A and B are shown apart, each in its own frame.
Chain A
Amino acid sequence: MAEVNLDKIFASFILSLEDVVDVSELTQIEKEYLGKGSVLSEERAKLASLSNDDKKKYGSLLKDFANKVSKKLESFKVDFEKSYFTEKEKSENPDISLDWFSKKGTRKHILTNVMEEVVDIFASLGYTVAHGPEAETSWHNFDALNTPDWHPARYESDTLYLDKDLKNLLRTQTSTVQVRHMQDNKPPVYIVAPGRVYRSDQLDATHSPVFHQIEGLAVDDGITFSDLKGTLEYFVKEFFGKNVQTKFIPHFFPFTEPSAEVLVSWKDGEWLEILGCGMVDPNVFQNVKYPSTTQGFAFGVGVERLAMLRYGIDHIKNFYENDLRFLEQF
């Protein structure tokens, strides 16, 4: 009856498993012991020639053998992969303290970042963004803003002019946008105007011939000094944090009255100026042909100053040199 020693074959099967190095070899082993041309398939072919009784007995033996091999293969595979992956992961242990990727930052210029943040705060209060030309008329930059002919800001030592007659200039403040916006729009007006301004200053630690301001203007029925105060206090808390205190001290600007400077509480109990503001002077409304009963407030804030304060930036030149060592920090 039994012409082959199944136990011996099984032993050789077990032996062949010991040499397995890759899981894909198992397919070959399976084929060798269970597939076409295997001893098993040859023995099965012989079953037809056996008596019913022997067929039954021997068939059952072969079936047991096949099951045993399959089962062993399956458990071997599970164990093999398990130990294979364990070994694989054991070898994969890089030094995570390394930083192979260089620092990049947001890539947005920090001045843009600050301007966007300020604009967003005011957008949440219902202000839209207005803009105007940087090369401006003296009228928009000075006269319309109630700055008399003899005012020191108009000196050529302070302002960059574009002609001999001093009719055109590079705007020294974003307040020019107030004027243009009011000339083109009826109240109510709620705008912020971020942009570049120019002064006749050499580039040093705290001065730059080019810098950025954000102008704000609210003109509406019943706008009061209390509204100005509440608005700027809200802005300071949103921008610098809830714990930062604000104080208002009287100041003078030709285009607002009353005028104030806003100071914020800083480290070591120091108070720092961060913006100028006030109720729009009636002369400004008159210059843009608004009715005499109009009222509103305006403010202006230096973008470089906000950035320097918040991040402790020591030199205004950094903003305009665009050294990647600076840019990638933000």
Chain B
Amino acid sequence: MKVLKSWLNDWVDIDKINGDELSLALESLGFEIESRIDIKPNYKNIVVGKVLEIYPHPNADKVRVTKVDTGNNVFEIVCGAFNFDVGAVVPVALPKSEIKDSFLIDKRDIRGVESNGMICSATELDLWEDNSGILLLDDDVKPGTDFSTIYPQNDIVWEIGVTPNRGDCMSHLGVARELSHYFKKPLLDNSSQLNPSIESILSLSSGTIKECNTYAGIEIENIKIKDSNFNTKYRLSQVGTRIINNVVDYTNYVLYDIGQPLHAFDRDKLFGKISVRYAKQDETLLTLDNQNRQLSKNDLIITADDKPIALAGVMGGLETEVTQETNNLLIESAYFDKVSIMNTSRKLNLISDASIRFERGIDHQFQLLGLNRFINIFQQDQHITYSSPVVDSKQQFSMVDVSFSRNEIYKILGIKLENDFIENMLEYLGINYTLTDNDIVFQSPSWRYDLERPIDLIEEFAKHYGFNNFESTLPIGNNKNNLGEYWHLKRSLTDKLIAMNMYEIQTLSFVSQEINQIFTPEKKSVEINNPIDQTNKFLRTSLHPSLIEVYKNNIEQNNQSEMFFEINNIFDAGEHQNFDSIPNQIYSLSALIPSKLTNSDTRQDPTINDIYFAKQILIDCFGKIELKQIHKPGFHQNLSFLILKNNKVIGHLGQLASQLEKSYELNNSIFLFSIDLTSISSEDLINIIYSPLSPYPYVKFDLSFMVPDAFAASELIQEVEKFLINNENVITIFDDFKNEKSRNLGIRINTRSYSKTYSEEEVTDILNQVVDVLENKFSIKLNKGN
């Protein structure tokens, strides 16, 4: 919302306070400052002139020639605008003056007529945007007056954020009230008496529903629709409102002035009793914007003789609109229920300055004042006759006493407030209160909907005390150096994976059903009811597709071939596992390892890896694991394995199916693994088992065995380790050679006794025993002669 310093000054005397101080005050009161513009004249030597004569240009249709009285002289000036007549009071740029952006004005020949300067529009003087033509000043300004003396100098306009709980601050009066306490200056009273001189002819009612508590109106006769006065135009333009005509401008003026929305009807288009009700299903209304609106049972409407004439608080009807020909008015000033207005305006997507104020709650005692202000402003401009206001109100809002102990303030805020401060604030803010030694009793004023509980008033104290005046203290919690298992696991895992040169990624969670089908056709996807993007309206059931996308995009960007991993939730709509009503969400890790990896030394060729490399990453993370072959959609028919840790399935490792590798156009085998992080703990990541170091020399021998094709080589190692259990061993498979005839495994045994140096006889003995054990256990044969 925009507020103008000179307008605020109507309500609280801040004229002498400079802009910085006011900005600081506004901000500390909770009005976030989105922008501030210091208004400075962008023109020089502009004077006020009165148009004495207008006649056609002898050589041109698009301009007219005027004679303008500028006080001491009458000048002939050519003008291209047609929005004024003889008698108009206008700003004139005489020769040697400057308009917007230092543009110098001088005598100029326009098609054979010498023009002594120009008549200016608001835009040309950089006052505000206005394409309707020349700026018309009030008739009573004397020709020759320096324009800068009638146009406000050094005014300031702020765009401020008003929080949704403070509907009462959606006007200059509301903001001024907050400032009045800040600067300890009283709020001024701008209302004046009405002198009604006609009888009203319409009957008004607030209807039977409680959503319209007050419906008030005033009838005005014999008005003339014309431009509003200069001050109104200036102020409304500065707060960003379009200038229309006096009636519309003055209703807007009252809204920005005190926050009461008004609506003007052409009284001569109204027949029968004016009332308020909910619309009936399928009723329609042609609104001001010339749209035929389908109404529903939740829309609050104004009716004349029970026929809809306006959408209450949202938009008027076209049939009862005020036009150039309007002579008589009905001005409406009502109090409508917040939620009803909100529903209708959001449903029809008609959000106006009025609807926003009703939504946030207007002062429920301001309806009469609204009419009063309208008449006051209108009267400054033309002589009008009007009726007594009619107010139909249902119930008085009850004033509830809220009481609380003064200790609460200290308890919650940590500050001790003096009596003076408490009393001052409550008085300036217009809050009724009683103060005792121990307690505060208060009543919420008619404009505040945010003061219902003790905490609401405590907040008010904090704000007016000034957040930046509070002391700062630093409490220490009860969980020092205890990050918790969730974070510990995520962090340990991330640290391990990045240490293995994998890049961590973060991707969006939305995918198409087809994407979910690739790896997890068995899972039911969670569908978003109101997706941002219809093509990606499901939550992902697997992290693999995102990894492949990221890998592929990077290759397409001519980036390196790298390894990636992501730790995030996957979702499914299967039977509830963790929570009763919300979809399953499994905290997961997925990783992608391309077989061809860009070497970090750019002089080297890519490194080529196979699935053993991927397996080793798993071992480095999780220690001892087992892999069990399993068929899985999206994966190679053989290279696909369940990952088991302590006999429990924790995830899956495999090579991307050849078909998918082709359809993704990867030209590179891809290994993927996924881990269900809910099935492991951070302790599973600690795989340190210390073995003492033997001081004796090592014995080393290589053996080669002929083994069947389907043979798990790891079993050979396990068996030797079992046999040499009392030694310090390093046992490895160093060769797995296959030809047409046979498969041969080379095993290297490196062993040390903890108690002695082996003699040659003992070494031979061990070697023979190992061969015996392995041959017998697995029915395999040692290859002799190596």
Interface residues of A (CB under 8 A from B): 100-102, 104, 106-109, 111-112, 116, 119, 123-131, 133-137, 150, 152, 155-156, 160-164, 166-168, 170, 188, 190-191, 194, 196, 198, 200-203, 208-210, 218, 220, 222-227, 229-231, 233-234, 247-252, 257-261, 279, 281-282, 295, 319-325, 327-328
- A-B residue pairs in contact (CB < 8 Å), sample of 15: A102-B560, A111-B506, A126-B477, A129-B484, A134-B585, A150-B343, A160-B531, A162-B526, A162-B582, A227-B474, A233-B472, A258-B459, A261-B32, A279-B412, A321-B550
Q: Which of chain A's residues have a CB closer than 8 A to the CB of B504?
A: 107-109, 112
Q: How far is the CB of A235 from chain B (nearest CB, A)?
A: 10
- Contact partner of A224 (CB less than 8 A), chosen from B30, B412, B455, B479, is B412
Q: Which of chain B's residues have a CB closer than 8 A to the CB of A325?
A: 557, 559
User: Do A123 and B483 have beta carbons less than 8 Å apart?
Assistant: yes
Q: How far is the CB of A144 from chain B (nearest CB, A)?
A: 14
Given A135-B539, A281-B455, A324-B562, does the pair A164, B529 have CB atoms closer than 8 Å? Answer: yes
Q: Is B411 an interface residue (CB 8 A)?
A: yes
Q: Is B342 an interface residue (CB 8 A)?
A: yes
- Contact partner of A252 (CB less than 8 A), chosen from B163, B472, B498, is B163
User: Do A224 and B582 have beta carbons less than 8 Å apart?
Assistant: no
Given A109-B506, A224-B414, A258-B462, does the pair A101, B602 have CB atoms closer than 8 Å? Answer: yes
- 6 other A-B residue contacts (CB within 8 Å) besides A126-B480, A322-B507: A100-B601, A135-B585, A152-B346, A190-B478, A229-B467, A252-B165
User: Do A160 and B479 have beta carbons less than 8 Å apart?
Assistant: no
Q: How far is the CB of B238 from chain A (nearest CB, A)?
A: 24
Q: Which of chain A's residues have a CB closer than 8 A to the CB of B318?
A: none
Q: Which of chain B's residues have a CB closer than 8 A to the CB of A106?
A: 498
Q: Which B residues, 130 to 183, have Cβ-Cβ distances below 8 Å to chain A?
A: 163-166
User: Do A128 and B164 have beta carbons less than 8 Å apart?
Assistant: no
Q: How far is the CB of B605 from chain A (nearest CB, A)?
A: 13
User: Do B413 and A163 have beta carbons less than 8 Å apart?
Assistant: no
Chain A residue nearest in CB terms to B478 = A188
The CA-CA distance from A252 to B31 in the complex, in Å, is: 11
User: Do A257 and B455 have beta carbons less than 8 Å apart?
Assistant: yes
Q: Which of chain A's residues have a CB closer than 8 A to the CB of B82?
A: none
- Contact partner of B560 (CB less than 8 A), chosen from A249, A250, A324, is A324
User: Do A108 and B494 have beta carbons less than 8 Å apart?
Assistant: yes
Q: How far is the CB of A207 from chain B (nearest CB, A)?
A: 10
Given A125-B476, A129-B483, A131-B486, does the pair A107, B498 have CB atoms closer than 8 Å? Answer: yes
Q: Which of chain A's residues have a CB closer than 8 A to the CB of B498?
A: 106-108
Q: Which of chain B's residues have a CB closer than 8 A to the CB of A188?
A: 477-478
Q: Which of chain B's residues have a CB closer than 8 A to the CB of A128?
A: 477, 479, 482-484
- Which of B28, B487, B569 gathers most chain A CB within 10 Å? B487
Q: How far is the CB of B457 from chain A (nearest CB, A)?
A: 10
Chain A to chain B: the 6 pairs with minimum beta-carbon distance, closest first: A190-B477, A126-B477, A250-B30, A224-B414, A252-B163, A230-B472
- Contact partner of A136 (CB less than 8 A), chosen from B473, B478, B554, B582, is B582
Given A231-B474, A252-B166, does the pair A320, B506 have CB atoms closer than 8 Å? Answer: yes
Q: Which of chain B's residues have a CB closer than 8 A to the CB of A130?
A: 484, 486
Q: Which of chain A's residues have a CB closer than 8 A to the CB of B550?
A: 321-322
The CA-CA distance from A109 to B560 in the complex, in Å, is: 17
Q: Which of chain B's residues have a CB closer than 8 A to the CB of A112?
A: 494, 504, 506
User: Do B415 and A129 have beta carbons less than 8 Å apart?
Assistant: no
- Which of A107, A196, A222, A226 gathers most chain B CB within 10 Å? A107
Q: Is B55 an interface residue (CB 8 A)?
A: no
Q: How far is the CB of A163 from chain B (nearest CB, A)?
A: 6
Q: Is B456 an interface residue (CB 8 A)?
A: yes
Q: How far is the CB of B165 from chain A (nearest CB, A)?
A: 5
Q: Is B468 an interface residue (CB 8 A)?
A: yes
User: Do A101 and B559 have beta carbons less than 8 Å apart?
Assistant: no
Q: Which of chain B's residues have a CB closer than 8 A to the CB of A125?
A: 474-477
B345-365 interface code vs A (CB 8 A; 1 in, 0 out): 010000000000000000000
Q: Is B693 an interface residue (CB 8 A)?
A: no
Q: Is B564 an interface residue (CB 8 A)?
A: yes
User: Do A323 and B494 have beta carbons less than 8 Å apart?
Assistant: no
Given A168-B583, A229-B467, A295-B411, does the pair A257, B483 have CB atoms closer than 8 Å? Answer: no
User: Do B415 and A162 have beta carbons less than 8 Å apart?
Assistant: no
Given A163-B529, A248-B467, A319-B506, does the pair A229, B28 have CB atoms closer than 8 Å? Answer: no
Q: Which of chain A's residues have a CB closer than 8 A to the CB of B166?
A: 252
Chain A residue nearest in CB terms to B598 = A102
Q: Which B residues, 521 to 537, have Cβ-Cβ distances below 8 Å to chain A?
A: 526-532
